[in-house]
Every structure is written in structure tokens, then in C-alpha cells.
């Protein structure tokens, strides 16, 4: 049970870190996140589905743009992650 909790915390932490990095690097993501944080709660509840879809689209576009711009670094990072995964498993 403890190992599962640790893995969940690490997964959530990775997603939060990715979102923070995208927010720091891309103005579109920063604008969308600030719209969600600053808006009034009643307006948020009325159009939560549309806003979630819009935010997901902006994040996906920003991730795609950053991936295209930094492809060699992404390949290196993915290879390092796979190697680290194998290292931790044994």
C-alpha cells in the first residue's frame, strides 16, 4: 500500500511539474491558467466543461510546440527516463 501511494504522489507531482513548466514557458498557457484562477466561482461552474476542454487544447498545443522546438532534448530525456526506470526496477 505504501509503495502505491508513493507512486501516485510521484505521478501527480510529475503532472504538476509539467504544468508549471508549460505555464512558465508559454504565454498562452499562462493566460488560460490565470483566467481560471482569477474568474468568479459561479461563472466557473456554469462553463466548466468548455473551459476544461479549452485549457486542455491550449496545453496540448503548447506541449506540441515545445516538443517540436526541442526534439533532441526530448529524445534524450525520454531515453534517460526509460533507463532510470529500468535501473530502479532492478
Q: Give the position of cell 474568474.
A: 39
* Spans of all domains in the chain: 2-89
Q: Residues 6 or more apart from 59 whose CB is under 8 A from it?
A: 19, 22, 29, 32
pLDDT (tens digit, 9 = 90+) per residue, 17-68? 888 888 888 788 788 777 777 666 666 566 777 777 887 888 888 888 877 7
Provide the pLDDT for residue 14: 86
**Residue 13 reports pLDDT greater than 80:** yes
Provide the pLDDT for residue 3: 82
Amino acid at each position: 500500500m505504501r509503495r502505491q501511494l508513493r507512486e501516485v504522489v510521484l505521478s501527480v507531482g510529475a503532472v504538476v511539474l509539467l504544468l508549471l513548466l508549460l505555464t512558465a514557458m508559454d504565454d498562452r498557457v499562462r493566460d488560460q491558467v490565470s483566467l481560471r484562477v482569477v474568474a468568479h466561482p459561479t461563472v466557473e461552474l456554469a462553463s466548466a466543461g468548455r473551459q476544461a476542454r479549452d485549457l486542455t487544447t491550449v496545453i496540448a498545443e503548447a506541449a506540441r510546440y515545445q516538443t517540436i522546438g526541442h526534439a533532441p532534448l526530448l529524445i534524450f530525456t525520454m531515453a534517460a527516463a526509460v533507463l532510470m526506470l529500468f535501473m530502479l526496477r532492478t
